Chain A
Amino acid sequence: MSDQLYQERIVELAKAKTGAGKLAAPTKSARRDNPLCGDRVTIDVRLDGHGRIAEIAHQVRGCLLCQASASALASVAVGRDLAGIATLRHDAERAIGRKEGEAGEPFSAFAPVAAHKSRQECVLLPFEALKEALS
């Protein structure tokens, strides 16, 4: 099963590093750690006047899945508020088999993680950090 985990789309998302880095003047920031594996995600956001994300950046010290997830999230987060990010998270959860239904893009790339329960938190950690930043 593991043979298929690192499929090209996941590796490409990680390598794209969309949104990787820091914001010069973030409205909010949050860091989340996974105490089990030591993965660490810091997310900066700049919000517009309506609580929507105008700019996002992330720093990931973690595995390829965590990097790919942060990259995917940053690619579609701009213009969304807390509820909009929750919708994206549902997509990610569908992709990894935690929720019924078909996952939207770009999160369908994470479908191979459904078979690897111990790695699913790696995909969700950037969502946790972003939720905290927006809360």
Chain B
Amino acid sequence: MSFDVAGTRRQFPILSAIIDGKPVHYLDNGASAQTPDAVLDAVRIYETTGRANVLRGVHRLAERATESYEKAREEVASFLGVPPTEIVFTGGCTAAINLVAYSYGSLLKAGDRILLSELEHHSNIVPWQLLRARSGVEIDMIPVTVDGRIDLAALPRLLTPRTKLVSLAHVSNVTGALVDVRAVVAAAKSVGAKVMLDGAQRAPHGPVDLPALGIDFYVFAGHKAYGPNGIGVLWAKAEHLDAMPPFMGGGSMIGRVTFAETTWAPPPRRFEAGTPPIGPAIGLGAACKWMAALDWSAAHAHEMALVQRLMDGLQKIDDTRLFGPASLQNRYPVVSFMLDGVHPHDVAQTLDSFGVAVRAGHHCAQPLMDRFDLDGTTRVSMAPYNDNTDIDALLTGVQHAARTLR
């Protein structure tokens, strides 16, 4: 069955807006996706009929707020196929990785090793470097193949008995490549290492069956998954959360506080110190529910048809080079390219004049740019609500940049 892109677009108010006299061709979903009515409504209902702090109040608004907040946790858990008690709300995806690096990282010893890849987002590199500075763990790096995939052939030589954690992008934010999770987990388990996936670019493309993946930690961002800003998710197996000390101290995360000693609340509250981002969490719950209701086999086929149209169109423009996998297999709808002789920022600025929003630059993946000696790329990242007119407007803009800026 074909995907109802028009019906999907109608659910996103911004897509029918005219901004500075131009339509919105939004192809920067990898940075932040747009938000459907279902999410906007959920947040508005909380703010107008149930706004209060969670957990402690006894009045009816507090009870409503707590119920909505915990219901959101259930929606997120259901989206990932895990128990709600294993879902920790954080301030974002970066915050979630930092939580693991700080808390789980505190259980590691000097000389233990963390294995990352060359294509990681800075948010999956820098927290581990901070841990290295604190505790003396070592960081190893899996190289990337010429088509922008993590080179799993290098795994056997990089995994050692001291490797405690392998932390990788589930989908690359630059090349769209999907990592072979089964191969990673099998190899990591052979040395007793845990596996974390950064799902920031995967979660916006449909439910993730975490139990089937066999991993230990998963993180993603709300605002890239059609939810509000300021909310992210950490999932970890209960046994890991139970063993992990708090990341931040404050209200809500305690059992009992005295000046002599404080005990911790059980997870997930142990990791949610202070007033959490309640409205954003409720919005993310609605986003997960919205995503769960979508026909993703049709949506994914639609997204990949857009990728094909885009790649075909770019290849017809002289001196345009694609960066990333050449095929549509095991990838998600992120496409990076370079237009020789025109800097990616100038391509993106020109596209803006056609009403086309894309991202240009290093995409917070400077080691990957260095590996290929790139100034940056222009990145097109798609969502189910994108259509052929978005791709065609982009191709027109790239042709214009090629004609006028060289």
Contact = CB atoms under 8 A, between A and B. Distances in A.
Contacts of B344: 63
A62 B343 contact: yes
B345 A2 contact: no
Interface stretch (B184-192, B231-239, B246-254, B361-369): B361-369
Contact of A2 (B349, B369, B404): B349
Interface residues of A, number: 19
B353 A63 contact: no
A64 B366 CA distance: 20
B103 interface: no
B278 to A, nearest CB: 31
A124 B346 CA distance: 16
Interface size bucket, B side?
10 to 19
A53 to B, nearest CB: 27
Interface centre among B342, B369, B376, B404 (most CB of A within 10 A): B376
B350 interface: yes
Interface string B11-45: 00000000010000000000000000000000000
A125 B345 CA distance: 15
A6 B20 contact: no
A63 B346 contact: yes
Contacts of A2: 349-350, 352-353
Contacts of A65: 346
Contact of B343 (A1, A3, A63): A63
A11 interface: yes
A116 B349 CA distance: 10
12 contacts: A6-B346, A6-B350, A6-B405, A11-B404, A37-B361, A38-B369, A62-B345, A63-B343, A63-B346, A64-B346, A65-B346, A116-B349
Interface of A: 1-3, 5-6, 11, 36-39, 61-65, 67, 116, 119, 122
A-B interface, 10 closest residue pairs, ranked by CB to CB distance from nearest: A2-B353, A63-B343, A63-B345, A38-B362, A3-B353, A2-B352, A64-B346, A37-B361, A63-B346, A61-B375
Given A36-B361, A62-B345, 8 more contacts: A37-B345, A37-B361, A38-B366, A38-B375, A62-B375, A64-B405, A67-B343, A119-B345
